[in-house]
Amino acid sequence: MNEAILSKEAGAKVKTAAKTAKNKKSGARGALEFTMKALFLICGLVAVGFVLIISVYLIVSGIPAIREVGLLEFLGGTDWDPANRSGDPSFGILPMILTSIYGTAGAIVIGVPIGFLMAVFLSKVAPRRLAAVIREVVDLLAGIPSVVYGLVGMIVLLPAIRDLFGLPAGDSLLAAVFVLAIMILPSIISVSETALDAVPREYEEASLALGATELETYFRVSAPAAKSGIAASVVLGVGRAIGEAMAILMVAGNVANMPSLLSSVKFLTTAIAGEMGYADGLHRQALFSIGLVLFLFIMLINAALNLFLKRSKEGQA
């Protein structure tokens, strides 16, 4: 009896010892866990930090020029002649704002129908193998550096436009619209396709069973059911197009005219990219202000995108 109690006590002691050892071990692991978590947090904060720094920097460096030129004069002025050494520079960016808006709108008008039809084809119509090949190609299209788009546009598109319309040079808003339309295709295709893929098969079966053809089904049932995702793809395309600089710098001609389809134009982005190299003084500050305007556009577009993506998720839930 006594012995039994003793051995029990001994057993308990051993157990306690084992427990302590275990705790120690889990203590070491816990420390590692803690460090890693901290590391992840820091990495996350770095990203947030950069966004904050860029925002603050843009606001701080963008405001002085706007203040000096005057907000209305800056946003509403139609004349951009910042380096006029004869003493009368002007800082109206309306031509560039309109060019960016028209160029983006043009790219959407051309790119969205093509991208949407392509997405329907890939998601619903194409044989699986062909779809896989095309998807690869589309991904490749997304990976081509924008300077290459510009180069091809310069060599192929500009002479074509020049000859077709009998212009002295092909550099134009039209050329930029074409280049942008092709550049936004991959995002429109892949986001729309994902949305179309997520449409429950039951909807399509119901439509087919009512005697609708496959095409009627895709356009009247599948596409409406995927509309939030498709809208998100359009907004994503807008964001891409409005932020693009390099490719259009090479085909737009870069003269700050009020935009028309066949004339040389300057975008918000290309003004910054093209002029920063030689700008100084108020001109330089005005370029930062353009950056701020562009930044506000993109913020707006991102907010819209998040809204659509959220709706698209809720729609499927």
Q: How far is the CB of 126 from other proteins (least distance, A)?
A: 13
Cβ at position 208, least distance to other proteins in Å: 7
Looking at the Cβ atoms of 46 and 209, the one nearer to other proteins is 209
Cβ nearer to other proteins, comparing 30 with 200: 200
Minimum CB–partner distance for residue 286 and other proteins (Å): 49
221 vs 290, which CB is nearer to other proteins? Answer: 221
Would you tell me which residues interact with other proteins (CB under 8 A)?
200, 202-203, 205-213, 216, 220-221, 224-225, 315
CB of 194 to other proteins, least distance (A): 17
CB of 120 to other proteins, least distance (A): 17
Nearer to other proteins, 126 or 212 (CB): 212
Residues written for the chain: 317
Least distance from other proteins to the Cβ atom of residue 180, Å:
33
Question: Comparing C-alpha atoms, which of 162, 180, 186, 182 is closest to residue 172?
Answer: 162
Q: Residue 46 or residue 317: which is nearer to other proteins going by CB?
A: 317
Beta bridge partners of 13: none
Contacts of 274 (CB under 8 A, 6+ apart): 249, 254, 266
Q: Which is nearer to other proteins, 61 or 316 (CB)?
A: 316
| Residue with Cβ nearer other proteins (136 or 216) | 216
Radius of gyration of the chain (CA): 29
The two structure tokens encoding residue 310: 């959220």
| Closer by beta carbon to other proteins, 132 or else 206 | 206
For residue 81, the minimal CB distance to other proteins (Å) is: 54
Q: How far is the CB of 209 from other proteins (least distance, A)?
A: 4
